Chain A
Amino acid sequence: MNDARTGVEIAGTQIEDTFAEAFRMRVARLVVTAHDDFWLDAAVREFAGYSSSIISCDSEAGLERPLAPRETPDGRKGVALLVFGFSADALAEVVPNRVGQCLMTCPTTAVYDGLSEGEQRIPLGKTIRYFGDGFQKSKLIAGRRYWRVPVMDGEFVVEHTAHVAKGVGGGNFIVQGTSAVAALAAARRAIEAINPLPSVITPFPGGVARSGSKVGSRYKKLKASTADEYCPTLRGRVQTKLAEGANAAYEIVIDGLDEAAVAHAMTEGIRAAAGKDVLAITAGNYGGKLGKFHFHLHEILS
């Protein structure tokens, strides 16, 4: 049991006096359009696959929000995707790879830069165009260069480059329920509150991580291992951080375009998650030594 818990409570759920520790990351925002919702969904699923955690994936990626036709360059329905990495150089590798393999292959899609400014640009069509084997064409419209790569359903339109900006990765909170069902319902409420918010993603499956991790392992090869302090089956074997009576915990990890967006998403998520059979909500940190951003739960909820 965590003795750091003090007197903030929402709907009967104890909010622990602790903080989430998040990191400076780099982010690209892509606008993807397609013929209809089915193919947009297919594109998002493919693009955001295997991108839950930077610990072992090449990036953290996910759906920021759907876009109406009036919000996209080509007037079709679209989505905004966020991709986070530790550096612009890393994103310069990751993003064209994912766009080439996951979006160019998806029927009817087109890909555009979703940021109007940033500290650097990374290639998109600049490298993907070579798939056109010399038949690709470019079009410069309003100062933005697009590539038209011939494919079997017509042309894959992709912008030449994408901006990369500073972002924040690793905002988080952990819900603890009396049962797995109660904790899961709380996590789901949190995700449903966060999903409509702009400028953030929750990169884990369905927005929720069940295998929270700690830094390091007794096995030298591993960079991270299970967060044993939050594993209910290890209660009694390790110093647990679970609230008394909690039998399951889920972590919601939030990456955002800036600190304010992450804080807002955490606030909305925590408020939605709190309720019956949710004993406590806490957050993960590394003692404040690793991450630049500290989101104190009591402060952001005040």
Chain B
Amino acid sequence: MPLVLRYRGQTSIPVEVEGFLPEVVRGHTLAQIERIEIFHGNQKCALGDFFSVSGSADDACFEFEGDLSGVHWIGAKLAAGEIRIEGSAGRHVGSEMTGGTIHVAGDVSDWVGGEMHGGLIHVRGRAGHFVGAAYRGSKRGMTGGTILVHGPVGDETGHTMRRGLIAVGGAGDFTGLNMIAGTVPVFGPVGTRTGANMRRGTLGLFGEAPVRLLPTFRPGNCDKLLVLQLVFAELRRLGYPFDESLCERAYRMHHGDLVTGGRGEVLVPA
């Protein structure tokens, strides 16, 4: 039985639940859980001030209900267990998480999976900017795990990511900016300056709209690429929807960014 947390806040000030994780509250009574400190703006308050709590914390499974778009840091630093968000959520969902799974039925705001190290975040709606990205000043963004977003996302997806898989339904500008390695398939339109300064890794631009790459990317061969079948198989296994005809397509490989060695690749359907 999951621990059900129904949000009943009526505030425009951010509510932050950083550190409120399944492994932290396992074995706690509902009364103890309601007394856990969270932040409302810069003020400490009790979880029970904003959430109705029911169910059990014994199964390491949270189920958030309600409009949580003003609630931030849900599942940040999660190491194990499962969090299900039945609506939308705010910023930093699954930030720095190392394991476990987070499912979001609606949209999420910026920084979903920021500097994530492991586990799975599966968003059925849209996401904001900086998916799996490095926080400002950090040397690395996402270093492992998987982020799936069915809808489009904002700018700087995978910024300085080192490892992992981010699949999105469309992306804004600077996708894969400064990317060190990893895999980012984009199943929709993409903005400008894709792959700028990327060192290694794979960007798959699978949308129908024509793609204009930076002049520091050089076109390579055009053929089917076996390794993409492994990526598609993994997405299929995780229940990520995409056009199966992509599995049969040939792809033009573009090497880049030549500014930083040109060992990365951008794949575009031929």
Chain B contact residues, majority secondary structure: mixed
Contacts of B208 in A (CB 8 A): none
User: How far, in whole Å, are A60 and B8 apart by their CA atoms in the complex?
Assistant: 67
Chain A contact residues, majority secondary structure: strand
Q: Quick one: closest A residue to B144, CB to CB?
A: A140
Which 5 A-B residue pairings sit nearest by Cβ, starting from the closest?
A: A74-B229, A157-B226, A142-B234, A141-B234, A141-B230
A154 at the interface (CB under 8 A from B): yes
B227 at the interface (CB under 8 A from A): yes
Interface string of B226-258 (1 = CB under 8 A from A): 110111011001000000000100000000000
Q: How many whole Å from A297's CB to the nearest CB in chain B? A: 44
Q: Are B233 and A157 in contact (CB under 8 A)?
A: no
Q: Are B227 and A146 in contact (CB under 8 A)?
A: yes
Q: Quick one: closest A residue to B202, CB to CB?
A: A139
User: How far, in whole Å, are A146 and B200 apart by their CA atoms in the complex?
Assistant: 15
Q: If the complex has contacts A141-B165, A141-B183, are A146 and B230 also in contact, measured as CB distance less than 8 A?
A: yes
A137 at the interface (CB under 8 A from B): yes
With A142-B234, A155-B226 given, can you name 7 additional A-B contacts, CB distance below 8 Å? Answer: A73-B233, A110-B226, A139-B202, A139-B231, A141-B230, A146-B227, A157-B226
User: How far, in whole Å, are A225 and B150 apart by their CA atoms in the complex?
Assistant: 66
Question: How many residues of chain A have a CB within 8 Å of chain B?
Answer: 15
Q: Footprint of B on A, CB under 8 Å?
A: 73-76, 110, 137, 139-142, 146, 148, 154-155, 157
Q: How many whole Å from A144's CB to the nearest CB in chain B? A: 9
Contacts of A146 in B (CB 8 A): 227, 230
User: How far, in whole Å, are A157 and B226 apart by their CA atoms in the complex?
Assistant: 7
B26 at the interface (CB under 8 A from A): no
Contacts of A157 in B (CB 8 A): 226-227, 230
User: How far, in whole Å, are A140 and B227 apart by their CA atoms in the complex?
Assistant: 10
B193 at the interface (CB under 8 A from A): no
B218 at the interface (CB under 8 A from A): no
Give the most central of B163, B221, B226, B237: most A CB within 10 Å: B226
Q: Quick one: closest A residue to B221, CB to CB?
A: A154
Q: How many whole Å from B33's CB to the nearest CB in chain A? A: 33
B225's contact among A73, A75, A140, A154, by CB below 8 Å, is which? A154
User: How far, in whole Å, are A146 and B163 apart by their CA atoms in the complex?
Assistant: 13
B223 at the interface (CB under 8 A from A): yes
Q: If the complex has contacts A154-B225, A154-B226, A155-B225, are A137 and B233 also in contact, measured as CB distance less than 8 A?
A: no
Contacts of B163 in A (CB 8 A): 140
B103 at the interface (CB under 8 A from A): no
User: How far, in whole Å, are A52 and B202 apart by their CA atoms in the complex?
Assistant: 42
